Chain A
């Protein structure tokens, strides 16, 4: 009898230990969540949409991965790496005895094959642009099955981090790009309905107890376009997580069960407004003069109440932005910058010093033209429409009339990039990469994404020339402190000149079922499932 009691106690003790280690979870089970659309491709090199990116993140293997909490690169398929030749080369030591989901062995030849495919112009991979630092071809040297050296024609800034976006293909697998090195592989796809991912039996990673990861048996990605229906399904327990929820849905879910949602803090997404400064734009010359004036832009920035915007439009789940780098980007944020303080009298003083004057509650410029302009934004985006309406009300206080115009996205894009027939535009920027080198086309005056005046033949102003200089410095040196100093300077100039008026950084809001263990939501993509291999389902 005593022996039996002892046995039961031992079994209980073991069970408790296992539960404590797993956080109450267990191996197996299916995680379910939604995609906004059907994935456009399963070829990891061609990914250009969110749904395909989700499948790629869950199935592909990478040489290294950036930890979404520490923001530092960590070994993955590569055990270690070394930057050589002033940033022109990188040498990877690869993990031995790794196999793809179909059993094909992984080696340095696969890395060489992937890099050649990636940089092949006919593939049109969006990931490849970051590696194109100069004229010439990539030279790959396979030194052994587990050692490879990649030589680029010119130094590549942030070289190691870029491999967080490079999925490694198999050069020999009969399944080609469908052979997976990541935690899952694509088992079934019903167009418009779902994608079923199953555990990769050959996944190399193990937990500290030596158990093979991932813990989950499968992931079911269901296509659901409507976020409200997605929220209802989450409430009913039909899905286990929502990677991004709107502030309204967050509040609703939180009021029912506070532990079912989490605010992971400010994301890298920033909402912004800018004035059209293209010299050939078909807008009146006097308006071009206003938009080119730093004092005018600063006054507008000063007259916008960002605190109210964060509180009302985003229900407190956003913070006023000082620039396009959020505070959550720990290393690259310039801590000396503060969001522009709301001060209508200060804005008016600044405008008066620039020749503007108030007449019967209407602001006029030095030639007597009433100050009135339109802000375009994309139709159907409620938070942007609300922000534009708030700006309209804020600027009315300093005598400026603003017309809010919502356009379908294609028309908006055409005006922004081809006809330049707009005055001010309110949109958002999604920064997938934390490193400033990914923003070269935005900040270089010759860049296509230099939104206020794209593709300048030569810098139009001295401060734009200075930004060009600093961006080139940060892109061409390996010294992290020099890069940081240059990028800080770019952020400072952008704050002082306000070519883009940054409004708010939205928080990353996620819904994660309390049934999911080991979840550690991050402000950075993919917020809720970045550590998918460690996620575990509690007993249902």
Chain B
């Protein structure tokens, strides 16, 4: 278990390092079209061959990891903060506040978030750069993904309020913000960390889903989701198995997060 944990961290660190150093590792820019070498097989010049427009597949995978590895954790952080705020308030206040807030959370959970996301994207300004558009997409994912975690945090906060150390703190006159900051939040930290790690692969896959609908990251910026979307014409995969590279990377990255998540869950 410990070994697996180390491997997962090593995998994620290597992937993060590779994406940060993409400019030096990749043989070409992710958008550069070598039109005379389109659909080339893997070679020294193009390690994973080239795509339909002659773009280097390896470069696109390495740059694509940037989007997934950096923006998904940021979106996860945003959704965890929102979940902590909403769930924490509900659990701490209890009574009618909890019922109202949790009712609103249930309503939020029932929303068809994919359609909501499509609708919001449809009204965005058209001249946004691909980078701005992908940041907005992940911000939306973060803002829409807090509800399941909020329920867990609310339950955790309610449980913590009944614990002996909180009774003891209250008996000594500790209350309000100090009680939350000094006693409640530290006790909720494992649950929050678990929610954070749980959200990362969810957001990576959500982006992949949007990519499959053609509504993910806009061209020419690559993302793992968008690259996986290119596998839709899978009749071509038997003769060109190297096209599976983005899917393999996606599985390995999500697998590594899941390994870390298991540890966090145990701690929580």
Contacts and interface: CB of A to CB of B under 8 A. Distances in A.
Contact of B215 (A311, A408, A423): A408
A280 B265 CA distance: 57
Interface stretch (A58-66, A386-394, A462-470): A386-394
A379 B218 contact: no
Given A379-B215, A393-B33, A386 B53 contact: yes
Contacts of A389: 53, 219-220
Contacts of A393: 31, 33, 53, 220
Contacts of B235: 228, 231-232, 248-249, 252
Interface string B118-139: 1001100011111000000000
B213 interface: yes
Interface in A358-385: 372-374, 376, 378-382, 385
B53 A252 contact: no
Given A249-B235, A379-B215, A406-B214, A313 B52 contact: yes
Given A403-B128, A408-B122, A411-B122, A380 B213 contact: yes
Contacts of A313: 52-53
A404 interface: yes
Contacts of B215: 379, 406-408
B234 interface: yes
Contacts of B214: 378-382, 385, 406
Contacts of B232: 228, 382
A392 B236 contact: no
A403 to B, nearest CB: 6
B38 interface: yes
Could you say which interface size class chain A belongs to? 35 or more
B35 interface: yes
B82 to A, nearest CB: 27
Contacts of A392: 219-220
A259 interface: no
B233 A255 contact: no
Nearest to B55: A389
B38 A312 contact: yes
A405 interface: yes
Q: Which of B214, B232, B236 has the most CB of A within 10 A?
A: B214
Nearest to B123: A411
B126 A422 contact: yes
Contact of A403 (B121, B127, B234): B127
Interface in A229-278: 231-232, 246, 248-249, 252, 255
Q: Which of B118, B130, B219, B220 has the most C-beta atoms of chain A within 10 angstroms of its own C-beta? A: B219
A252 B218 CA distance: 28
Contacts of A76: none
Given A252-B235, A403-B126, 5 more contacts: A228-B233, A249-B233, A386-B53, A403-B129, A405-B218
6 contacts: A232-B235, A252-B239, A311-B35, A311-B38, A393-B220, A423-B126
Interface of A: 228, 231-232, 246, 248-249, 252, 255, 308, 311-313, 372-374, 376, 378-382, 385-386, 388-390, 392-393, 403-408, 411, 421-423
Closest 5 CB pairs of A and B: A379-B214, A411-B122, A374-B126, A380-B214, A389-B219
